Amino acid sequence: MKINTPISSADEVEMLAANGADELYCGVVPREWIEAYTGAIWLNRRSPAGANLATYDSLAELVLSAHRYGIPVSLTLNAPCYNERQLQSISDLARRVTEEIGVDALIVSDIGLLLALAELRLKTRIHISSIASVLNSETIEFYKELGASRIILPRSLSLREIRDLAMKVGDRIELEAFILNDGCAFEEGLCHTTHHHRVGAFCFNIREWNYEVYRDDGGPLGPEEKDIIAGQMDSYREWLWYVNGCGGALSQEGLPLGPCGLCAIHELSRMGIGSLKIAGRQASSFRKLASLRLVKAVVDLVRSGAAPEEIAARARRVRNAPEMCDSGYMCYYRGFGG
């Protein structure tokens, strides 16, 4: 089981390599893309501001540095869809980053791009992004036939659903699961709203919305009905707060809080999940490092063959946020073990 870690600068390679990153993934948004589409149309699923490298030279430096440590690098080309003109630009980009720079894998979500890359016959691995919403084994087989070597599973899947998929596909294709940071209130592959760095994600603002509820017959709600709905909305708003990173809060040790699957690592390993994805290309270097150390602490215990109870206890201990863990809202995989 590998730890796939986000990166946005060559300066972070040594730090992440020294602390246990097995794989790195990043994005690049070259000047030509910004000139053609401004910052409103994203090349990948992260804003050009802060989450991406800005030049091919900086990407080449990052890849060269990572390869010195024997660490492969994946590049995100995972916007939900591209038009014909964009596909040509991205095809040229894909050829350049694989043949000249040596990127090891491309993370793709748009089927049009996937078909275009197949025609190029690039010597690189293709990873299917969670944006593609691979929710069943038939979809996995479909992407495998189109050349995919890894499926990044959507955040919305439960452990039981992941287990069923893993059993059906066996070792015919590698599976990757999210493990830390950056949740999503919706099924992100079906969400076509923007995450503009100045405006914020659409789902971030739901907690502030006002709402009105009406009965089917148009009559007024009774007091008991109002209380039930108000309670449900309060629970939903609390969950959204956790999903959106706990408002940027840190634990007493300064560790990042937010969506977390540390307790599920043993179970994911037992299912045969090949890679654990730490989200957060836009995060600070400190947050990337702290997140990696959290995951590595638990993965090391799993690799040592420790008992599930010991691993779960270790996960809670390194997280050290018992009230948040007990709420269940911070768990990527709620109902663990179900």
Determine which helix (DSSP H) or strand (DSSP E) holds 23, and give its type and residue range. strand 23-26
Instruction: Copy the structure tokens of residue 202.
Output: 């659409």
- Token pair 């430096």 is found at 61
Q: Are strands 73-77 and 105-108 parallel, antiparallel or unpaired?
A: parallel
Within 10 Å of residue 38's Cβ, how many Cβ atoms?
9
List % helix, strand, coil for the chain (3-state, nearest 5): 50, 10, 40
User: Can you say whether residue 334 is alpha, beta or left, with left for phi > 0 and alpha for psi between -120 and 50 degrees?
Assistant: beta
Give the per-residue SS3 of 180-239.
ECCCCCCCHHHCCCCCCCCCCCHHHHHHHCCCCCCCCCCCCCCHHHHHHHHHHHHHHHHH
Domain formed by 2-183+245-327, architecture: Alpha-Beta Barrel (3.20)
Look at residue 185 in the predicted model and tell me its pLDDT: 83
Give dist(CA 73, CA 317) in Å, integer.
31
Q: What is the pTM of this model?
A: 0.92
What is the DSSP code string of 111-159? Answer: HHHHHHHHHHT-SSEEEE-GGG---SHHHHHHHHHTT-SEEE--TT--H
Give dist(CA 36, CA 44) in Å, integer.
15
Look at residue 294 in the predicted model and tell me its pLDDT: 95
Look at residue 335 in the predicted model and tell me its pLDDT: 64
Instruction: Copy the structure tokens of residue 45.
Output: 């699923």
Give dist(CA 116, CA 217) in Å, integer.
52
The domain ranges of the chain are: 2-183+245-327, 205-237
pLDDT in tens, 215-271: 888 888 899 999 999 999 899 889 988 988 888 788 877 788 999 999 999 999 999
- Token pair 């994946």 is found at 74
pLDDT in tens, 143-166: 999 999 999 999 989 999 999 999
Determine contact, residues 132/80, Cβ cutoff 8 Å.
Answer: no
- Token pair 């030049």 is found at 55
Rounded to 5°, angle at Cα 244 from 80 and 327: 130
Q: In this structure, what DSSP letter does residue 54 have?
A: -
Residue 196 φ then ψ, to 5°: -55, 135
Among candidates 232, 228, 239, 206, which has minimal Cα distance to 328?
A: 239
For the chain, which residues score pLDDT lower than 70? 193-201, 335-338
